[in-house]
Structure 1
Amino acid sequence: MRYELTDLRLFQAIAEAQSLSSGASASHITASAASYRLKNLEHAMGTALFVRSARGMELTPAGETLLVHVRELLRGVERMHGEVGRFSAGLKGHIRLLANSSSLNGFIIPSVSRFLAANPDVNIDLEERASQAIPCAVAAQEADIGILAGDIDASDVRAVRYAVDELILAVPNGHPLARQAELRFGAALDFDFVCMSRGSSNFLFLRDMAQRAGKSPNVRLHAHSFEAALSLVEAGVGVALVPRSVAAAALRDARIAGVRLAETWARRELNLIVRAEGKLPSFTAAFVQFLLNDPRVAATREDGAPVA
């Protein structure tokens, strides 16, 4: 068998994009060159790796097996570069991070900006995922690090407590609910809501909790970000379910009011996970420690209290 790391990286890109053209674009080569390389790889492997379908490029059983090994191999190469890179100045590498919307917007982005500024040779892919989908993605090596809300029930990842947050109801000043110190979520569903996008983990969670309460939220608008949602709340359009960490500045400036929810699920234990097996590259391990040691994040773990 003869093939190059370039071929394996291309194979992984096509498999993850489920598209030859998208995989080629991600690998910075033309689609025709990608097709030629893929044919050579399949010839070297002695079997077909993909089946073309209406949905794009789907892995064959052989392709699925190869993808597991390619991810492990390329991770090892990256780890090798990271370990050797310690002998030169600075950290170098590429990190993939999956996170739910609460942790991403409340804690991670400020930490990431400082880490990237201090480490110009490290690149980070950030992607939002629902909490329940993250452990499997990390175990399957789709990401190096995951940060999510709730307990972890997976033997192939290891977890460490990351932060403590709280979901609250953000309401306009002068709103009937603004006089409440605490209320049940079901009572809030009698009022108009502004929500995050339909595919966001925040909205999917809100929808599920509303269904559990036997109601459906009246969503006046789906906003593209928490900042936009809070602006709509401030303007009196509706109320929003948001992490306290995200609403902290608006609450301090009294631009909105915050109402606590008398629900056990409102308190959010955020966990950071990595694969149980294998050693992290030095730059990834350094990033993990940077995330955990961020003073604003660490403060929430010390007393178990959400960010004020």
Structure 2
Amino acid sequence: MRYELTDLRLFLAIAEARNLSAGASSLHITASSASYRLKNLEQAIGTQLFLRTARGMDLTPAGETLARHVRGLLLGVERMHDEVGRYSAGLKGQIRLLANSSSLNGFIIPAVSGFLIGNPNVNIDLDERASKVIPAAIAAGEADIGILAGAVEADGVEVVRYATDVLILVLPTGHPLCREKVIRFAAALDFDFVSMDRTSSNYLFLQEVAQRAGKHPNVRIHAHSFDAVLTLVSEGVGIALVPQSVAIEALRAKRVAQVRLNEPWALRELNLILQAGQQLPSYTAALVQFLLNDPRVCETRESIHSGFPASLDT
């Protein structure tokens, strides 16, 4: 059998989007052309690859098998281009990175500009995901690098300790909780909250720990970014549960106050994961090393036992 790489890329794009039009659009192909190509691919293979449902397009068992092989095939093609490209100057490629909100906003985004400036021919596709879904996505080859909070218990991935962060409560200056240095989280649930949007991993975690305490957080407003959350807190709208890494500048400027949490989950280890057994393209390996060697990240790994980076206490 002979297959066109364009058809295989289209098949995978449709599978990941679960929608023919969206998959076609991502490859700049018309929906009618995509439908024709997909029909030809199914005829060449001799079986149906998708089930059309009200929710979208779901892979058949044959489609699941093909998707697994296509991911490996396209990764091999990328690696081939990478190895040949080493004979020309500079790194070239596209890197897919999944991260939870705290690592994305607290460490990755502040640092990654340096990598992109130094490697103008490398692009990075950043996507926020909840920590618990990232390992499966990396194991399946849906992304190249994953960074998440907490222990990783999943097959098919390699784990490297990335950074350490602390979840704190940020408060308006003069808030009643400012009199406390450390509290249990349940005590904070008597007050109004500000949080990230409803689909963010930050809000989903807030809901989870509140439910463990037998309460429900009263979120007065959902904001689109941590900067917006901190601004709303500083204006007195409510308090917020945020990673210390995203609040350092606001705390140093005394725009907000903080209280530490006497909770085992407040100290969070962030891990970087890769698909097991895969040889990384040079540009992906370069980004991994850049992220791990970022001075701010290294500092948190060295201060894991202190709970808070020393720089905030100076």
Structure 1-normalised TM-score? 0.98
Once the two structures are superposed, residues 20-59 of structure 1 have per-residue CA deviations (whole angstroms, 9 ceiling, x without a partner) of 1111100111111111111111111111111212112211
- Tell me the amino acid that sits aligned with residue 158 of structure 2: R
- After superposition, residues 259-298 of structure 1 pair within 5 angstroms as 259-298=259-298
* 8 A Cα contact 2:139 2:155, kept in partner: no
Residue 123 of structure 1 corresponds to 123
Answering whether residue 69 of structure 2 is matched by residue 69 of structure 1, we say: yes
Number of aligned residues: 308
Please give the secondary structure, in 1, of the residue aligned with 2:3: coil
Residue 136 of structure 1 corresponds to 136
Residue 154 of structure 2 corresponds to 154
- After superposition, residues 292-307 of structure 1 pair within 5 angstroms as 292-304=292-304, 305=306, 306-307=308-309
Q: How many angstroms apart in 1 are the aligned matches of 2:41 and 2:245?
A: 48
Please give the secondary structure, in 2, of the residue aligned with 1:190: coil
Q: CA deviation at 1:113?
A: 1.6
Moved over 4 A (4+): none
Q: CA deviation at 1:16?
A: 0.5
- Tell me the amino acid that sits aligned with residue 84 of structure 2: V
Answering whether residue 191 of structure 2 is matched by residue 191 of structure 1, we say: yes
Residue 243 of structure 2 corresponds to 243
Once the two structures are superposed, residues 186-216 of structure 1 have per-residue CA deviations (whole angstroms, 9 ceiling, x without a partner) of 0000111001111111111111101101111
Q: CA deviation at 1:6?
A: 0.8
Answering whether residue 8 of structure 2 is matched by residue 8 of structure 1, we say: yes
Q: How many angstroms apart in 2 are the aligned matches of 1:175 and 1:207?
A: 22
Once the two structures are superposed, residues 140-162 of structure 1 have per-residue CA deviations (whole angstroms, 9 ceiling, x without a partner) of 11111100000111231111110
Residue 41 of structure 2 corresponds to 41
In the alignment, structure 2 segments of 5+ residues that lack a partner are: none
* 8 A Cα contact 2:99 2:131, kept in partner: yes
Q: How many angstroms apart in 1 are the aligned matches of 2:29 and 2:155?
A: 38
Residue 181 of structure 1 corresponds to 181
Q: CA deviation at 1:284?
A: 0.5
Please give the secondary structure, in 1, of the residue aligned with 2:155: coil
- Tell me the amino acid that sits aligned with residue 158 of structure 1: E
Q: How many angstroms apart in 2 are the aligned matches of 1:237 and 1:282?
A: 47
Residue 93 of structure 1 corresponds to 93
Once the two structures are superposed, residues 204-252 of structure 1 have per-residue CA deviations (whole angstroms, 9 ceiling, x without a partner) of 1111101101111111111111110000000000000000000000000
Q: How many angstroms apart in 2 are the aligned matches of 1:219 and 1:52?
A: 38
Q: CA deviation at 1:257?
A: 0.4
Please give the secondary structure, in 1, of the residue aligned with 2:94: strand
Q: How many angstroms apart in 2 are the aligned matches of 1:230 and 1:275?
A: 35
Answering whether residue 109 of structure 2 is matched by residue 109 of structure 1, we say: yes
Please give the secondary structure, in 2, of the residue aligned with 1:82: helix
Q: CA deviation at 1:303?
A: 2.4
Please give the secondary structure, in 2, of the residue aligned with 1:90: coil
Moved more, 235-244 or 80-89: 80-89
Q: CA deviation at 1:86?
A: 1.6
Q: How many angstroms apart in 2 are the aligned matches of 1:47 and 1:216?
A: 49
Q: How many angstroms apart in 2 are the aligned matches of 1:266 and 1:211?
A: 16
Please give the secondary structure, in 2, of the residue aligned with 1:199: coil
Please give the secondary structure, in 2, of the residue aligned with 1:241: strand
Residue 167 of structure 1 corresponds to 167
Q: How many angstroms apart in 2 are the aligned matches of 1:182 and 1:233?
A: 19
Q: How many angstroms apart in 2 are the aligned matches of 1:39 and 1:14?
A: 13
In the alignment, structure 1 segments of 5+ residues that lack a partner are: none
- Tell me the amino acid that sits aligned with residue 255 of structure 1: R
Q: How many angstroms apart in 1 are the aligned matches of 2:166 and 2:83?
A: 38
Q: What is the aligned-residue identity percentage?
A: 71
Structure 2-normalised TM-score? 0.96
CA RMSD of aligned residues (A): 0.9
Q: How many angstroms apart in 2 are the aligned matches of 1:116 and 1:107?
A: 15
Q: How many angstroms apart in 1 are the aligned matches of 2:259 and 2:88?
A: 51
- Tell me the amino acid that sits aligned with residue 174 of structure 1: G
Q: How many angstroms apart in 2 are the aligned matches of 1:303 and 1:102?
A: 18
- Tell me the amino acid that sits aligned with residue 94 of structure 2: H
Q: How many angstroms apart in 1 are the aligned matches of 2:173 and 2:222?
A: 21
Q: How many angstroms apart in 1 are the aligned matches of 2:124 and 2:74?
A: 16
Q: How many angstroms apart in 1 are the aligned matches of 2:284 and 2:87?
A: 16
